[in-house]
């Protein structure tokens, strides 16, 4: 298929007006900030002014890094019909779906199984699709649920195919809280279809009941000790009577090609359960470790050239994503990106409220930044919902211009070298050698070959703790360890620094839907993990700004990646702005004597933010803008501040970073009402509440003084405005501490400590 012979499978469109607007706003903002700093420089005499200049310079630094990712926002389209005109479905390359789960208490089995089943029902030839489930808890409950899920999928998958169901996620489609169009409406007309739908719904109810029963029985749940200490276990899930079905089908179909193709199409995707070995003494590297174990097991079983990664709560909300992703991967003609390693889909969430007080929609990332980065060299890897080339994950470099496949240097393919990198499993090495030597990611020998075969001999070996010792896994091969944000680090080191690119595919209907935490503490803990993980990369020897390989590929991209590595540093300027103007205001010391430029720079940044939010929401979105302003400020002095502390501890070797799992089971009723849920808030919230009390006290005390004493009132107005703005933003915190009486208010211990700390600050400096 030479370029030109067939129409391109994908298109890219540069959003020129937005690009122009972004550049204009950048120019305006830069000149304003320059004026602010120039005006403050002569006042460096006082410590407070010096600190404010340092704060402004930090803001300027981060702002500068963030700019390249806004300069060329693009959108892409995929044309699966053209793909299917150009190739028969049986010629499509295989896809292995890797699903990871870690804790049946925080991640209820029913939700996990919905993800598994939805992935099995993707619109893709059954013989070329396999789903691997990693269970880090090694829970008998999950295994049992997986078997039940497979049995249900044997009815569900054909049902979705037959009726071209749009939403392959059973719970949503069958009316468990989906939107209108999902409610079975796309199942086609006719009494027979309705009957079939009723039947499948009943099967789902039984399946659900079985799992809920099993959950109630304590015997299925392991203790914490058992979870951290158990053998590896791998099972290719089958269902009773399946062998007979297969034989019958094979008997019907002779060797004729068409029928063989139909057979490939209608086959059930493979489902494999993997619980890797866990020992307390050996590090297990969290999600990255789980994914690498799945990569190895899948290499032995189906070895598909493409891999889709899904978190256990990320269900497929359309069946189209696999074909859409292939439009980019298989398109070799412009405008398809060169050297494409992965296609990233946005993370979207089903449990969002219209009044999204925790900014859980992650608009900033998936609605703005990734669109901009896509115009640079591609969005960063985002943990879930991406289709990635296996050879690129295994360490290949992009092919020389004349060749289509990933490139492995010949020395790497030598037997000794392969074993050092990939470990000592003959079976794994044999499968690697087969695939790696052929340079194109070919259609894998279809998963059909491995069908009903016994489990590969080495399956449990490659899922054992000891297997990775002394190999390249986690460093030269697979998902990267050393960071709790394995997605960010892997995307940067494994792909971008080697010259691979990515594409962002943002279809109108959300392709995947996950769940976000719905109480403040969980949200902050999650943010702290992201912030500490990325900062630990930014401050380490792997800093993107100091990576020669990446800089050689693209300096603007290095800046855009580094921006995320330093994101947590916002904590410092925000901390300054949340203490110094307050304390000075109380003393009657003006900090913004010539406020014109500061006011203009402030207004320009607010306006720019409003434009961003509104463009992403496709309407004037003032409430979303306000929610983001508020959460940004709150997160800066909680998630980002503690993120900085943890990252420094990690760098100094004082304490390793941990991966705190988010809960996918909370009800979120307060969040849906737009009320902050402070249940379980701990020290993480303390800086925010302390600063909030300080601000309120300074605002009241300072205004009082200003009115009673007179003096240089005009020069204090900018501070009065700033303090009032902060007070308005932090009102929910004040309310949670002093006005609310419900159980979800700020724990009184936190309130008391905040008041005490604020009093100390005021006594010392006020
Ligand atoms: O030891 C572990 C820890 C986590 N997980 C799985 O990792 C996934 C993500 O964990 P979750 O608690 O949902 O974290 P989130 O904060 O929601 O994850 C976001 O942030 C992570 C990086 O910190 C990315 O990997 C994710 O894709 C991204 O959604 C879940 O399926 C977990 O089961 C494991 O398999 N083993
Ligand atoms: Mn999650």
pLDDT tens-place string over residues 381-400: 999 999 999 999 999 998 87
What atom of ligand 1 comes closest to residue 290's alpha carbon?
35
pLDDT of 1 > 50? The answer is no
pLDDT mean over 568-590? 95
- Residue whose CA is closest, atom 24 of ligand 1? 383
pLDDT mean over 198-214? 94
What pLDDT, on a 0 to 100 scale, did the predictor assign at position 655? 82
Strands 129-135 and 95-101: parallel
Q: CB neighbours of 201 closer than 8 A, spacing ≥ 6?
A: 174, 175
* CA of 516 relative to ligand 1 center, distance in Å: 11
What pLDDT, on a 0 to 100 scale, did the predictor assign at position 188? 53
- Residue whose CA is closest, atom 31 of ligand 1? 311
pLDDT mean over 51-66? 94
Mean of all residue pLDDT scores within the chain: 90
Number of C-beta neighbours around residue 257 at 10 A: 9
Domain extents in the chain: 21-71+561-657+669-765, 81-177+193-246+261-347+382-516
State pLDDT tens for residues 530-565. 999 999 999 999 999 999 999 999 999 999 999 999
Q: Is 103 annotated as a binding residue?
A: no
- Residue whose CA is closest, atom 1 of ligand 1? 286
pLDDT mean over 28-33? 92
- Label each residue of 357-391 as H, E or C: CCCCCCHHHHHHHHHHHHCCCCCCCCCCCEEEEHH
| Top CATH class, 81-177+193-246+261-347+382-516 | alpha beta
Residues taking part in catalysis: 136, 487
Please name which of 36, 59, 464 lies closest in space to residue 232, comparing C-alpha atoms: 464
- Residue whose CA is closest, atom 19 of ligand 1? 383
Q: Is 136 annotated as a binding residue?
A: yes
* CA of 55 relative to ligand 1 center, distance in Å: 33
Q: How far apart are CA 175 and CA 169, in angstroms?
A: 10
Q: Is 162 annotated as a binding residue?
A: no
What atom of ligand 1 comes closest to residue 529's alpha carbon?
23
* CA of 728 relative to ligand 1 center, distance in Å: 34
pLDDT mean over 624-638? 98
* CA of 287 relative to ligand 1 center, distance in Å: 6
Q: How many CA atoms lie within 13 A of 102 on its CB side?
A: 18
For a mutational test of ligand 1's pocket, the pick from 100, 283, 285, i.e. the residue with the most ligand atoms closer than 8 A to its C-beta, is 100
349 beta partners:
514
**Against a cut of 0.90, is the pTM above it?**
yes
Nearest ligand, CA 278: 1
Which region among 223-227, 553-557, 665-669 has the lowest average model confidence (pLDDT)? Answer: 223-227
Mark out the alpha helices in 636-747 (DSSP H runs).
Answer: 641-651, 669-673, 686-709, 713-729, 731-734
- Residue whose CA is closest, atom 16 of ligand 1? 526
pLDDT of 401 > 90? The answer is no
What pLDDT, on a 0 to 100 scale, did the predictor assign at position 411? 66
What pLDDT, on a 0 to 100 scale, did the predictor assign at position 183? 47
pLDDT of 242 > 70? The answer is yes
State pLDDT tens for residues 480-495. 998 899 999 999 999 9
Nearest ligand, CA 291: 1
pLDDT mean over 662-666? 84
Alpha-carbon Rg for the chain in angstroms? 28
What pLDDT, on a 0 to 100 scale, did the predictor assign at position 342? 97
Please give the biggest Cα pair distance in the chain.
99
Residues less than 5 Å from ion ligand 2, measured at CB? 311
pLDDT of 338 > 90? The answer is no
Please name which of 90, 120, 122, 97 lies closest in space to residue 239, comparing C-alpha atoms: 120
Q: CB neighbours of 112 closer than 8 A, spacing ≥ 6?
A: 99, 101, 133, 142, 145, 312, 313
**Collapsed DSSP state (helix, strand, coil) of residue 484:** coil
Top-confidence residue, 661 or 45? 661
State pLDDT tens for residues 585-608. 999 888 887 788 889 999 999 999
Nearest ligand, CA 115: 1
Confidence class for position 715, pLDDT limits 50, 70, 90:
confident
State pLDDT tens for residues 368-380. 999 999 999 999 9
Locate the DSSP E strands across 66-144: 74-78, 95-101, 129-135
Confidence class for position 157, pLDDT limits 50, 70, 90:
very high
What pLDDT, on a 0 to 100 scale, did the predictor assign at position 575? 97
Which region among 171-185, 268-282, 450-464, 731-745 has the lowest average model confidence (pLDDT)? Answer: 171-185
What pLDDT, on a 0 to 100 scale, did the predictor assign at position 432? 87
What atom of ligand 1 comes closest to residue 662's alpha carbon?
12
pLDDT mean over 104-127? 96
* CA of 130 relative to ligand 1 center, distance in Å: 21
Q: Is 287 annotated as a binding residue?
A: yes
What pLDDT, on a 0 to 100 scale, did the predictor assign at position 744? 95
Top-confidence residue, 77 or 403? 77
* CA of 348 relative to ligand 1 center, distance in Å: 15
What pLDDT, on a 0 to 100 scale, did the predictor assign at position 47? 82
- Residue whose CA is closest, atom 2 of ligand 1? 286
pLDDT of 125 > 50? The answer is yes
pLDDT of 448 > 50? The answer is no
Q: How many CA atoms lie within 13 A of 61 on its CB side?
A: 17
State pLDDT tens for residues 339-349. 999 999 999 99
Site residues for ligand 1, CB cut-off 6 Å:
100-102, 107, 134, 136, 286-287, 290, 311-312, 383-384, 484-487, 526, 529-530, 659, 661-662
Strands 386-389 and 340-344: antiparallel
pLDDT mean over 412-421? 81
Percent of the chain with pLDDT over 90: 72
- Label each residue of 271-313 as H, E or C: EEEEECCECCCCCCCHHHHHHHHHHHHHHHHCCCCEEEEEECC
Q: Which helix or strand (DSSP H or E) is residue 599 part of?
A: helix 595-617
What atom of ligand 1 comes closest to residue 487's alpha carbon?
25
What atom of ligand 1 comes closest to residue 313's alpha carbon?
31
What pLDDT, on a 0 to 100 scale, did the predictor assign at position 148? 96
What pLDDT, on a 0 to 100 scale, did the predictor assign at position 182? 47
**Contact indicator for 441, 405 with CB cutoff of 8 Å:** yes
pLDDT of 405 > 80? The answer is no
For a mutational test of ligand 1's pocket, the pick from 98, 102, 536, i.e. the residue with the most ligand atoms closer than 8 A to its C-beta, is 102
pLDDT of 437 > 80? The answer is no
What pLDDT, on a 0 to 100 scale, did the predictor assign at position 759? 96
| DSSP, residue by residue, 565-582 | HTGGGGHHHHHHHHHHHH
What pLDDT, on a 0 to 100 scale, did the predictor assign at position 713? 75
Confidence class for position 762, pLDDT limits 50, 70, 90:
very high
What pLDDT, on a 0 to 100 scale, did the predictor assign at position 191? 82
For a mutational test of ligand 1's pocket, the pick from 351, 383, 518, 643, i.e. the residue with the most ligand atoms closer than 8 A to its C-beta, is 383
The verdict on whether omega for the bond into residue 606 sits within 30 degrees of 0, i.e. cis, is: no
* CA of 434 relative to ligand 1 center, distance in Å: 32
DSSP state of 652: T
**Collapsed DSSP state (helix, strand, coil) of residue 475:** coil
């Amino acid at each position: 298929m030479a370029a030109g012979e067939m129409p391109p499978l994908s298109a890219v469109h540069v959003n020129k007006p937005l690009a122009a607007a972004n550049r204009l706003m950048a120019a305006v903002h830069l000149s304003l900030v320059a004026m602010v700093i120039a005006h403050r420089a002569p006042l460096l005499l006082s410590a407070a002014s010096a600190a404010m200049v340092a704060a402004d310079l930090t803001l300027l630094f981060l702002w500068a890094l963030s700019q390249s990712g806004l300069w060329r926002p693009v959108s892409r389209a995929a044309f699966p019909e053209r793909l299917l005109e150009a190739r028969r479905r049986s010629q499509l390359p295989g896809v292995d779906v890797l699903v990871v789960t870690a804790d049946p208490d925080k991640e209820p089995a029913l939700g996990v199984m919905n993800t598994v089943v939805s992935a099995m029902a993707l619109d893709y030839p059954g013989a070329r699709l396999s789903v691997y489930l990693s269970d880090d808890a090694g829970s008998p409950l999950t295994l049992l649920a997986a078997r039940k899920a497979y049995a249900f999928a044997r009815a569900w998958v054909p049902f979705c195919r037959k009726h071209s169901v749009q939403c392959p996620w059973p719970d949503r489609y069958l009316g468990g809280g989906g939107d209108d169009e999902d409610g079975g409406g796309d199942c086609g007309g006719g009494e027979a279809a309705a009957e079939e739908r009723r039947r499948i719904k009943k099967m789902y109810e039984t399946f659900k009941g079985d799992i809920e029963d099993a959950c109630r029985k304590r015997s299925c749940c392991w203790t914490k000790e058992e979870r951290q200490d158990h053998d590896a276990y791998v099972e290719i899930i089958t269902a009773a009577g399946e062998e007979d079905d297969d034989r019958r089908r094979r008997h019907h179909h002779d060797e004729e090609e068409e029928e063989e193709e139909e057979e490939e199409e209608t086959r059930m995707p493979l489902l494999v359960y993997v619980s890797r070995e866990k020992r307390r003494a050996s590090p297990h590297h969290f999600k990255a470790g789980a994914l690498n174990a799945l990569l190895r097991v899948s290499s032995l079983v189906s070895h598909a050239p493409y891999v889709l990664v899904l978190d256990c709560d990320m269900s497929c909300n359309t069946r189209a994503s696999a074909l859409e992703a292939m439009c980019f991967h298989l398109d070799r003609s412009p405008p398809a990106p060169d050297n494409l390693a992965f296609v990233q889909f946005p993370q979207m969430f089903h449990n969002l409220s219209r009044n999204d007080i925790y900014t859980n929609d992650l608009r900033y990332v998936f609605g703005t930044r990734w669109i901009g980065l896509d115009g640079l060299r591609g969005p960063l890897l985002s943990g879930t919902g991406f289709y990635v080339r296996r050879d690129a994950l295994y360490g290949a470099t992009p092919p020389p211009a004349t060749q289509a496949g990933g490139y492995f240097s010949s020395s790497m393919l030598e037997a000794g070298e392969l074993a050092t990198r990939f470990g000592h499993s003959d079976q794994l090495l044999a499968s690697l050698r087969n695939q790696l030597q052929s340079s194109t990611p070919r259609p894998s020998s279809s998963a059909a070959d491995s069908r009903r075969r016994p489990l590969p001999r080495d399956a449990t070996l490659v899922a054992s703790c000891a297997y990775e010792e002394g190999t390249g896994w986690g460093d030269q091969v697979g998902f990267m360890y050393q960071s709790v944000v394995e997605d960010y680090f892997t995307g940067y080191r494994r792909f971008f620094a080697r010259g691979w690119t990515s594409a962002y595919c943002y279809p109108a209907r959300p392709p995947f839907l996950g769940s976000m935490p719905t109480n403040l503490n969980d949200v902050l803990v999650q943010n702290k993990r992201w912030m500490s993980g990325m900062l630990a990369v930014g401050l380490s020897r792997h800093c993107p700004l100091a990576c020669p390989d990446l800089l050689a590929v693209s300096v603007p991209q290095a800046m855009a990646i580094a921006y995320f590595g330093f994101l947590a540093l916002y904590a410092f300027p925000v901390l300054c702005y949340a203490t110094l103007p307050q304390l000075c205001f109380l003393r009657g010391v003006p900090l913004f004597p010539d406020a014109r430029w500061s006011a203009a720079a402030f207004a320009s940044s607010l306006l720019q933010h409003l434009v961003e939010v509104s463009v992403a929401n496709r309407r004037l979105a003032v409430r979303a803008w306000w929610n983001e302003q508020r959460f940004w400020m709150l997160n800066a002095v909680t998630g980002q501040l503690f993120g900085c502390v943890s990252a420094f501890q990690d760098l100094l070797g004082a304490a390793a970073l941990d991966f705190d799992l988010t809960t996918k089971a909370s009800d979120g009723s307060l969040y849906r009402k737009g009320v902050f849920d402070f249940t379980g808030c701990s020290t993480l919230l303390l800086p925010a509440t302390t600063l909030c009390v300080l601000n309120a006290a300074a605002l009241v005390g300072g205004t009082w003084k200003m009115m009673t004493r007179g003096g240089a009132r005009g020069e204090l107005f900018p501070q009065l405005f700033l303090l009032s703005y902060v007070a308005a933003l932090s009102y929910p915190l004040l309310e949670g501490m002093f006005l609310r009486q419900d159980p979800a208010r700020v724990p009184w211990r936190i309130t008391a400590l905040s008041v005490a700390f604020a009093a100390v600050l005021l006594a010392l400096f006020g």
